[in-house]
Amino acid sequence: MSTAVAPNPTLLLSRSQVERLLTPDRCIAAVEDAFRRHALGEAPAPGILGMHQGEGSFHVKAAFLDADRPYFAAKINANFPQNGVRHGLPTIQGALVLFDAETGVPLAIMDSMAITALRTAAATAVAAKWLARENAATALICGCGGQAAAQLRALLGVRNLTQISVYDQDAQKAVKFASALSSETGRSVTPIAELCAAVENSDIVVTCTTSDKYFIERRMVRPGTFVAGVGADNENKQELDPQLLAHSKLVTDLTAQCSKIGDLHHALDAGAMSASDVHAELGQVVAGLKPGRESATEITVFDSSGTALQDAAAAIAVYQRALAASGATFKLDS
C-alpha cells in the first residue's frame, strides 16, 4: 500500500488576499533575491510568449525558481489599455498558477493583477536601491494608472523621498492620485502639468504608462538622475528617448528580453546603440558582478520589461505566507 501523503488542496487567492499577504518590503526582498540567483546561474532564464488581439494583447510569462523547494510559475495576463474608458474594467487582468516543480502538483492559483503591480514596483525599488543616489529626495511618477501607487510605495521603502510629483495626460487623474497618496503616505505628493520642468527637478523619474512614443527626452534629464522605464512591456510601447539610453548607464532586467520588447528594443532599432552598450542586467549588479552607481553625476537608467522571475518570486512569497497564516484551510474570500 502506498504511503504517499496527499498534497494540500490548491489554494485560490484573490487580489485582496494577495495584497494582504505580500507587503512591499517582502516583495522587494524576494525579487532582489531572484535577480541575484539568476545572475549567479542558480535560476534558468525565464520564458515569454506574447500575442496581440485587436487593441489589446496577451502574454504568458513562466519561470522556475528554488526557495524552500523547486517551484514553477506561469502567469497569463491580458492587457487592454482602452478597458477603463470603454468597459469600466482594469487594463490588466489575469491569473498566475504556481506548481511544485518536483511533482507537478498545482499549489496555488492567484489573481495576477496584484502580483504584476507589486513585483514590477519591487524591481524598480531594487534598481533604485543600487542605481539611484543615496540622498535622492525628489521623485516624479509619470502615469497615474494601476501601477503608480505600487511604484511609489516601493520607492519609499528604499529612499527617503520628501517631495513627490505625479503627472498624467488626464490631469484630474493626477489630482486624485496625489490627494489619495498624500493622505496614505504622509508625504508631499503634487500633481504637475509641466513635464519637462518636473523631470529636470527630480532625482528619480519613473514612467509607468501605456505610451507608444517616447516622452522622456535626453535633454530633460539632469546629471545624477535615476530613470526607471516601466511601461514598455511589449514591442509597441515606448517611454524613453533612445538617446537617453545611449548616453546613460543602462541596466536591464533581462537584456535579451528588453532587446525585443523594452525601451532598449527601440534604441536598437533606431541605431542609437547596440546590445553590447548595455552596462549590466540588474541581477549582475545585485550579485556584485557589475558595479551599480559609481558617481553622483552619472545618469542611470533601468529598462524594466517585466520578467517571470519576478512573478515566481512574488508568487512563492504569497504562497508561503498563506500557508503560514492559515495552512491548507486558506480559502478564496468573497
Q: What is the CATH number of the domain that holds 156?
A: 3.40.50.720
Residues with Cβ < 8 Å from 139, sequence gap 6 or more? 152, 155, 159, 161, 163, 164, 165, 202, 203, 204, 205, 206
Q: Are 38 and 168 within one domain?
A: no
Q: Are 137 and 285 within one domain?
A: yes
Which one of 61, 75, 129, 249 is the catalytic residue?
Answer: 75
Q: Are 139 and 261 within one domain?
A: yes
Q: Are 302 and 316 within one domain?
A: no
CATH number at residue 68: 3.30.1780.10
pLDDT confidence bin for 334, thresholds 50/70/90: very low
Question: pLDDT tens across 66-93, in order?
Answer: 999 999 999 999 989 888 889 988 888 9
Q: Is residue 137 in a domain?
A: yes
Q: Are 140 and 47 within one domain?
A: no
Q: Are 296 and 155 within one domain?
A: yes
Q: Are 176 and 237 within one domain?
A: yes
The residue-averaged pLDDT of 303-309 equals 96
Q: Are 148 and 226 within one domain?
A: yes
Question: pLDDT tens across 247-277, in order?
Answer: 999 999 999 999 999 999 999 999 999 999 9
Residue 332: pLDDT over 90? no
Assess contact for 118 and 20: CB atoms under 8 A. Answer: no
Q: Are 128 and 92 within one domain?
A: no
| Range of the structural domain that residue 110 is part of | 11-115+309-329
Q: Are 149 and 233 within one domain?
A: yes
Q: Is residue 291 in a domain?
A: yes
The residue-averaged pLDDT of 185-197 equals 96
On the 0-12 / 13-18 / 19+ scale of CB atoms within 10 A, 224 is: middle
* C-alpha cell, 132: 539611484
The residue-averaged pLDDT of 48-73 equals 94
pLDDT of residue 81: 84
* C-alpha cell, 333: 474570500
pLDDT of residue 127: 98
**Number of domains the chain contains:** 2
Q: Is residue 5 in a domain?
A: no
Q: Is residue 220 in a domain?
A: yes
Determine the residue type at 183. S
Q: Is residue 109 in a domain?
A: yes
Question: pLDDT tens across 89-116, in order?
Answer: 888 899 999 999 999 999 999 999 999 9
The residue-averaged pLDDT of 314-330 equals 82
In percent, how much of the chain has pLDDT > 70?
96
pLDDT of residue 7: 60
Q: Are 141 and 289 within one domain?
A: yes
Q: Are 18 and 165 within one domain?
A: no
pLDDT of residue 92: 84
pLDDT of residue 38: 98
Task: Classify each residue of 35-72 as buried b or exposed e, where b means 16 or more C-beta atoms within 10 Å of its C-beta.
Answer: bbbbbeeebeebebebeeeeeebebebbbbbebeeebb
Element (H, E) at 78: strand 70-79
Q: Is residue 1 in a domain?
A: no
Residue 246: pLDDT over 50? yes
In percent, how much of the chain has pLDDT > 90?
87
Q: Give the Cα-Cα-Cα angle 91, 97, 99 (nearest 5 degrees).
A: 160
**Residues recorded for the chain:** 334
- Average per-residue pLDDT for the chain: 93
For the question of residue 75 being annotated catalytic, the response is yes
Residue 1: pLDDT over 60? no
